Structure 1
Amino acid sequence: MEVTAKPRSIKRNSIANIVNRTWTTLANFLFVPVYIHYLGEEAYGLVTFFTTLQVVLNLFGLGLSKTLRREFSVYESSEAVVLRKYRILRSVELIIWCIAIIIIGICALNADYIATKWINSETIAESTVSLTIRMMGVSIAAQLIANLYLGCLLGMQDQILANTLQISWSLFKNIGAVLLIVFVSSNISYFYIWHAVIDIIYLVTVRIFVIAKLKKKKSDLSWKLHDLANLKTIYKFALGILLISVGYAINSQIDKIIITKNFDLVSVGAYNSVYSLSILTTILTSSIGIAVFPRFTQLFTGNDLSGLNKTFRSYNSIAVLTTSVIGGFLAIFAEELLLFWTRSEIITNIMAGVSFWLILGTALSAIQEIPYNYFLARGCTIVNNIQTIIQIAYVLTVTPFMIRYYGLSGAALSWFIEMALSTTIYLIVFSRMYLDKCSLRLLISIYLPLLISIAIAFCARTLMLAIDFTDYQRLLGAILIGALTLGIAFIISNKHKFSNL
């Protein structure tokens, strides 16, 4: 099938995604210190536990959101295509709502066990922890369903709308939570009751927009039970995504699960805070990945492989350079940024010497983002599935050993080693399969900017310490020097890439 419609601007969608992820990051900077102040560092550790629980339970989503994102990326050449998308959506809906009920049930039935046997809390009552876990289940279930509809909007390239909805949802949830804990009660259970309510409202809102957009293209949409047969056309891709999701959950959360079991909630919160900080390295890559994925899909289904590879090279080079510079400076200046963000010397001291490896590991994982979307656009999940199996074997054997003998430092170092090996092998395989490009040259183009950025950041920090700069002065210096480094890197690499950035 030939793509005749002009694609929506990848740059415009990338900007919309960057704004959304920048707001998410800004929200962390604005609200996390408030949460720590009013809830306490131990209760904040419970808040970070929610993220781990969410990633694990999202496995029940069976990769359906990303599957729908790919299905809705297909060019709508006729009303029959629109009707097929609607029927697939309604069929998947039936499954995801059943899964949501199961998630709520799992959290409700296991809340007491988690509160008494897993969470190490000294100041929060077990009954409060138990109720909080139940509310977390409702929140996670609602977000899981909402992500299904969000995948549809992203696939249709309505990414400005999708990001507007996400920002509005985040804004209402965080501001409402702050008002609640400041003026009503700092009880962590109330905090998550509010989250659950807002998540349900968000779910309903996103669904309304998706259905309205489909009906605008074809008013007489219909679905019957026998339309579940449409699932046969997507189940292989969905199963591939499921395995990838399982691997992601295990790879990214096994260290946090072990830490939650063996360390106090303050240490749990400290480790998860640095992991949240490391997500800064993924803002641009994930934003570009989401924006460019529908275009990848259209070019592949339209059999324009030359255009597909050209688009990949253009945006991947931007992602790699930016991630390298941001990752290098974040890793070196993590202590200053963590103290500025959390306002907690306890958290900062706990993570001294740990942050560097954790942030670099996440930066390396971010470099896989654009190739990953390229694979999915071509309907290829086998490479990611093989990688997933290998990574699962690694994290189930090496990571527990490292944590047992080296504590939090072991967890971070294990993550870095895994991502360094994984990224290297992944890019070599990708290059040989699709780019017909020298693998060594590709790896040099990725690791050299990262090493140079680390060296520049290290020298800058050493100099500022020698001059006796304050923490805030060092942080400001890091931002300025990092921005200058990034600009020079793009100018040297390619002036056209610099204008695109």
Structure 2
Amino acid sequence: MSLKRNFSAGLLSSLWAALLGLAVVPLYLKYLGIEAYGLIGFFATTQALLQLLDLGLSPTINREVARASSSGDMHEAQDLLHTLEIVFWVTAAVIVIGIVALSPAISGHWLQSKGLPQETVTHALMLMGLVVACRWPVGLYMGALMGMQKIALSSTISAAATTLSSIGAIVILAFVSQTIEAFFIWQASIGILYALFVRWVAWREMGPETDTSQFRMATLKKVWRFSAGMSGVAITGIILMQLDKVMLSRLLSLEDFGRYMLAVVTAGSLYILLTPLFNAIYPRMAALVSSGEIEKLADLYKTGTRLFLAVLFPIAIMMAVFSEDLLYLWTQDRELARSSALVVSLFLMGTSLNGVMHFPYALQLAYGETRLPLIINAILIIIMVPMTIYLAMSYGAAGGAGSWALLNCIYLLVGTWLTHRTLLKGAGTKWLLGDVLLPLFIAVMAGGAGALAQKYEFQPYIELGIGMVLIGISFTITVMISPRLRATMRNMRSKGIVGVNPI
């Protein structure tokens, strides 16, 4: 399977999942209401947090299967998969038992529901635990498929499961029952079918289980050190990305938390760009570090940053400027759009700054520096907790989103300083001023023009059209004043976007 085809399949799957996720939100709001949507947001946060229990085992199976595939001897990989799937299915049982047991306490003392009866919230939480447990082993089998370079196959399965769970939920809500319990029953049904099917596919591709396949503690011991190293950064990263939602689910009413999660979903659309970006630049950086081509690495780092931010910043800022129009066209709810616009705008700004740091993070991992992201994440977590609590208690959901924006400003400054004390020494200030702040300044100027256009009170479609034009203008200006970007664009036109060198 070619690298180009695998990358394209992964990109298309991510794009489809993101677009489908955005498309179903207005229907969820229509059939369930903002409070029940807050429960769906709490479910997403819970599922992400429980990835802490993975302990790096999913990436470990990916690595070990890849190594076995290259040697042609799959026996050890089969033993490892059989051992780990026992661990994962037992963990799934513990998850569902734990969440069911805690559901009454969470509904009564943590979540603050005004319109939904506590009994309904409790039942939804119990079903939520079942959904999380059903989906839990999927990551293991997907890791095995990716280790065998079956990315197109795994992407197709993932896209199909996403489609069934999302479209099927809408059908259930529209024609069967407009309740949050019905929503989670459907999700649990698809979750168990998804896990069983991907298990069957993984074993089919790897080869059938043999009579000698059994749980082996020695197999776990072989991979434990690597798994623990991989899990350190992942654990702090998950805490950093999800802790605000956990705290706000307690500090805010369920209605306001629903607005906050609407902002999370909106800003999450930027990851359509961010995820494929990281998947492209990280292996390229790692290869340049391995070959000792530091000059080319520095050029990729600088030029790639400016080119990417020439696209990311204008999109994020225009979405923020026209957030109320965007939300109204999306949800068809004027009051919800008005009350959520500031929250969405602030969260978009924070996420765009977080996206900038994909480049230093990829550089850190390319050099094998896991200590740096651990230190940075720890610093940010310490800052996040009191800042989020104070701002949320003072300003509600907007305070929570403002905390996310401020945290990522700190991340940009502290992360750049710490990274370039060790890696590409001396490049940090020039990178920050020239390759980050220059595209940001141009995008902010374009955003100011968009804000002025709003004074004329055009129709929402016209205002979004103005925003798209300003995105193009901002990108063009950034490229025109950057000789390296002009050369990159010429390269792209001559070779096609896949062949471009910087990214």
Structure 2-normalised TM-score?
0.87
Matched residue type, 1:124: L
Rounded to whole Å, the distance in 2 between the matches of 1:133 and 1:298 is 46
Deviations 1:88-108 (CA, angstroms, capped at 9, x unpaired): 333332322222122111111
In percent, how many aligned pairs have the same letter? Answer: 26
How far apart are the structure 1 equivalents of 2:113 and 2:382?
Answer: 31
User: 1:115 matched to which residue of 2?
Assistant: 107
Shift of 1:398: 2.0
Q: Distance in 1 between the 2:342 and 2:464 partners?
A: 18
Partner of residue 80 from structure 2, selected from 53, 75, 88: 88
Kindly provide the CA deviation profile for residues 2-42 of structure 1, in whole angstroms up to 9, marking residues without a partner as x: xxxxx932x54443333222222221332111111111222
Do 1:13 and 1:291's aligned partners in 2 also have CA atoms closer than 8 Å? no
- 1:182 and 2:174 equivalent? yes
Aligned residues: 487
d(CA) in 2 for partners of 1:259, 1:397: 12
1:79 to 53, 72, 81: 72
- Partner residue in 2 for 1:454: 444
* Residue identity opposite 2:449 in structure 1: C
User: What letter is aligned with 2:380?
Assistant: Q
| 1:48 lines up with 2:38 in the alignment | no
Offset of 1:423 from its aligned partner?
2.8
Deviations 1:295-325 (A, max 9, x none): 767787xx43439948964766654443233
Instruction: Summarize the Cα distance change of 1:236–1:377 in structure 2 as closer, same or farther, 3 Å threshold.
Output: farther
Match of 1:33 in 2: 26
Bigger Cα displacement from structure 2, 71-80 vs 102-111: 71-80
Counterpart of 2:2 in structure 1 is 8
The residue type equivalent to 1:16 in the other structure is A
Comparing 392-401 with 288-297, greater Cα deviation is found at: 288-297
* Distance of 2:76 and 2:305 partners within structure 1: 32
| Equivalent residues in 2 for 1:296-307, closer than 5 Å | 303-306=290-293
Instruction: Specify the code of the residue in structure 1 equivalent to 2:36.
Output: A
The change in CA–CA distance for 1:407 and 1:441 in structure 2 (over 3 A counts) is same
- 8 Å contact from structure 1 (residues 321, 446) kept in 2: no
Alignment partner of 2:342: what SS? coil
Q: Tell me whether 1:19 sits opposite 2:7 in the alignment.
A: no
CA RMSD of aligned residues (A): 3.0
Q: 1:148 to 1:352 in 2, by over 3 A?
A: same
Residue in 1 aligned with 2:186?
194
Pick closer, same or farther for the CA change 1:62–1:416 going to 2, 3 Å.
same
Q: CA deviation at 1:135?
A: 1.5
Contact in 2 for aligned 1:74/1:297 (Cα 8 Å): no
Structure 1 residue 242: deviation in Å? 3.1
> Counterpart of 2:501?
none
Partner of residue 328 from structure 1, selected from 317, 326, 340: 317
Indicate the residue corresponding to 1:430 in structure 2.
419
Q: Give the secondary structure class of the aligned counterpart of 1:234.
A: helix
Distance in 1 (alpha carbons) for counterparts of 2:154 and 2:255: 35
Mapped contact 1:145–1:203 kept (Cα < 8 A)? yes
1:500 aligns with 2:497: yes
Shift of 1:177: 0.6
Q: State how far apart, in whole Å, the 1-side matches of 2:477 and 2:76 are.
A: 48
Tell me what 1:4 maps to: none
Task: Work out whether 1:104 is the aligned partner of 2:91.
Answer: no
- Structure 1: unaligned runs, 5 residues or longer: 1-6
Higher mean C-alpha displacement, 428-437 vs 33-42: 428-437
Superposition deviation, residue 186 in structure 1: 0.6
Q: Is the 8 A contact 1:327 1:450 kept in 2?
A: no
Deviations, residues 212-236 of structure 1 (Å, cap 9, x unaligned): 22239xx97953333x323334333
Alpha-carbon contact 2:259-2:397 (below 8 Å) kept: no
**Pair 1:61 & 2:54 matched:** yes
Whether the 8 Å contact between 2:86 and 2:215 is mirrored in structure 1 is no
- Using the size of structure 1 for normalisation, the TM-score is 0.87
Contact 1:296–1:377, Cα closer than 8 Å, also in 2: yes
* Corresponding residue number in structure 2 for 1:256: 245
1:393 equivalent to 2:382? Answer: yes
- Three-state SS of the structure 1 residue aligned to 2:269 is helix
| Alpha-carbon shift at residue 195 of structure 1 (Å) | 0.3
